[in-house]
């Protein structure tokens, strides 16, 4: 068994729902991320990529079932480079990285390209096939943008509540008030804006052409510089009349793609670069579907156990902020310093294009460790229907080596 390493990461800016990226197909977004990450390792012959594992939560429309293969072809890679697409909903691209790391560790491939994409703006409506030909009654089109659809009637009702209601229940369980959630959301915007201003994302984000005139999106579209708690407090709850979750303290619907290059230590000469981080631990966990927001707690604990370290040794955490309430619940349960979590902003500000978010977390975490010199970091993400994934990275660049 060999170790697997992260060599490079790139992503597109994340666009708001029906925003600047709404006119860009998901396969084109994916291809942009592929080209962006390969540009970081010009010494690499793309034909030496052993496999591509791509994450995507939809797959129902222009994602075209295997959007990973579409991305490889559209990015101009040799047709000999294979690709598969995996779907673990919000965790799809982090799942892709887990699969790729195992592939490298077992020797099945030396270099694996992973990533993910989602265009929630372009997610289609779907019609179920009728039980018989030419039905006389109407059929309703169902949006594939987010959440449950075409639910099996055998599923218990408590499992299939809307995602927002599930997190209202989480807030009730852990007594997390509205003000804490709004304060957390403001923090996310402030840190994201500060990170962009300081140039942290300059090396991670590749521009996307948004029209034929050559206009580009260069920065995450959802960040609100100068946010304060007071305006957020006036917003109406989104899921309950007396609820705590609003459009401002939850992640927005988004469009975007991310990509990460993984390889063995022996592959360094092919990249022409040393690795940034080692995949040191992986964690997978599941619980009752409506409690999905809390699932990262145990997923991360399992990843730490596999890495043979504990929370006091962790210097950086990237936790996907599907909702402020679930992020707070996880941080509270880990009993860690909140100051090490999402210091470059999180999904509430940056956006959450489902299939791409895991790759964003992993790339951001690796760059945070390189910047700070901290040795250990954790990336974790909650997943609808009661699941979560986590990865532990060990810094092998600069002071962390």
> Given the DSSP bridges, would you call strands 111-119 and 51-55 parallel, antiparallel or unpaired?
parallel
User: Would you say 222 and 151 are in contact if contact means Cβ atoms under 8 Å apart?
Assistant: no
User: Active site residue: 189, 330, 367, 382, which one?
Assistant: 382
Catalytic residue flag (residue 352): yes
Per the listing, tokens 């840190």 go with 191
Task: Verify whether residue 90 is a known catalytic residue.
Answer: yes
**What gap in Å lies between CA 390 and CA 341, rounded to an integer?**
14
Choosing from 189, 330, 352, 367, the catalytic residue is 352
Q: Which of 393, 392, 390 is nearest to 90 (CA)?
A: 390
β-pair type (84-86, 51-55): parallel
**Closest by Cα among 87, 96, 89 to 53:** 96
Q: Which residues contact 265 (CB under 8 A, 6 or more apart)?
A: 2, 3, 5, 275
For residues 121 and 115, the answer to whether their CB atoms sit within 8 Å is: no
Q: Which residues does residue 262 pair with via DSSP β-bridges, in sequence order?
A: 6, 112
Q: Could you confirm whether 189 is annotated as catalytic?
A: no
Note whether 13 and 351 are within 8 A (CB).
Answer: no
Going by C-alpha positions, the residue among 290, 297, 279, 314 that lies closest to residue 381 is: 297
User: Across the chain, how many H-helices and E-strands are there?
Assistant: 11, 14
Distant-in-sequence, close-in-space partners of 71: CB < 8 Å, separation ≥ 6 = 27, 30, 31, 33, 34, 52, 54, 83, 115, 117, 257
Active-site residue identified among 90, 189, 330, 367:
90
Answer yes or no: are the C-beta atoms of 187 and 347 closer than 8 Å. Answer: no
End-to-end CA distance of the chain: 21
Helix, strand, or coil here: 49? coil
Q: Which residues are catalytic?
A: 90, 352, 382
């Amino acid at each position: 068994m060999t170790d697997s390493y992260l060599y490079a990461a790139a992503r597109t800016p994340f666009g708001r729902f029906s925003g600047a990226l709404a006119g860009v197909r998901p396969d084109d977004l994916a291809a942009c991320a592929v080209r962006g990450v390969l540009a970081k390792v010009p010494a690499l012959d793309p034909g030496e990529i052993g496999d591509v594992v791509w994450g995507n939560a939809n797959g129902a429309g222009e994602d075209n079932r295997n959007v990973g293969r579409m991305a490889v072809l559209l990015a101009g890679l040799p047709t000999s480079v294979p690709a598969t697409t995996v779907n673990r909903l919000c965790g799809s691209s982090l799942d892709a990285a887990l699969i790729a790391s195992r592939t490298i560790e077992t020797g099945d491939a030396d270099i694996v390209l992973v990533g993910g994409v989602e265009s929630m703006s372009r997610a289609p409506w779907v019609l179920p096939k009728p039980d018989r030909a030419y039905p006389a009654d109407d059929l309703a089109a169902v949006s594939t943008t987010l959440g449950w659809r075409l639910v099996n009637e055998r599923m218990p009702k408590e499992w299939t509540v809307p995602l927002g209601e599930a997190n209202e229940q989480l807030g009730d369980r852990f007594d997390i008030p509205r003000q804490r959630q709004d304060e957390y959301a403001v923090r996310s915007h402030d840190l994201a804006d500060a990170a962009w201003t300081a140039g942290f994302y300059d090396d991670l984000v590749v521009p996307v052409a948004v029209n034929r005139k050559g206009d580009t999106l260069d920065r995450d579209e959802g960040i609100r510089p100068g946010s304060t708690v007071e305006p957020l407090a006036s917003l109406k709850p989104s899921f309950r009349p007396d609820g705590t979750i609003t459009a401002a303290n939850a992640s927005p619907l988004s469009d975007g793609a991310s990509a990460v290059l993984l390889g063995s230590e022996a592959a360094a000469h092919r990249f022409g670069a040393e690795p940034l981080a080692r995949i040191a631990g992986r964690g997978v966990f599941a619980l009752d579907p409506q409690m999905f927001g809390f699932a990262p707690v145990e997923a991360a604990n399992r990843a730490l156990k596999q890495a043979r370290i504990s929370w006091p040794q962790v210097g950086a955490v990237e936790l996907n902020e599907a909702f402020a309430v679930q992020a707070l619940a996880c941080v509270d349960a880990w009993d860690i310093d909140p100051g090490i979590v999402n210091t470059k902003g999180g999904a509430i500000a940056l956006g959450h294009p489902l299939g791409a978010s895991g790759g964003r977390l992993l790339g951001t975490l690796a760059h945070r460790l390189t910047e700070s010199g901290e040795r250990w970091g954790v990336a974790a993400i909650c997943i609808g229907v009661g699941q979560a994934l986590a990865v532990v990275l060990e810094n092998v660049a600069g002071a962390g080596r």
